[in-house]
Structure 1
């Protein structure tokens, strides 16, 4: 993922995260990508609409901001 594709801190979701995954995140109580540093990747993976591609994009976006999923 290039910097252009990554979400900046406080931005909602990076480019490439599909709408079903975005809706799943919002339904789970997340409003921005930086909030996902408080989430476990395994917990997000079981959300309806969340797929491996979305998780990869979100993981990369967190990594670019110096963060990662919790545990």
Structure 2
């Protein structure tokens, strides 16, 4: 896993990868952690984060056109 950590080494977010594709982001640690599924496009660019506890909830989305119009 690759992650982002505080200066004290406490995990802020850890990313789960399957080869070169990010598949999940885990925010926090232990009982207070929150997991999100990462939906990617054909180039493995993250396009959506979906709440793993409620798959109907998109918590972040990057909708852009084929030529890159739009910002995350």
Does TM, normalized by the shorter one, top 0.5? no
TM-score, normalized by length of structure 2? Answer: 0.25
Structure showing the higher helix proportion among its residues: 1
Structure showing the higher strand proportion among its residues: 2
Which fold has the larger relative contact order, with Cα–Cα distance below 8 Å and residues 6 or more apart in sequence? Answer: 1
TM-score, normalized by length of structure 1? Answer: 0.26
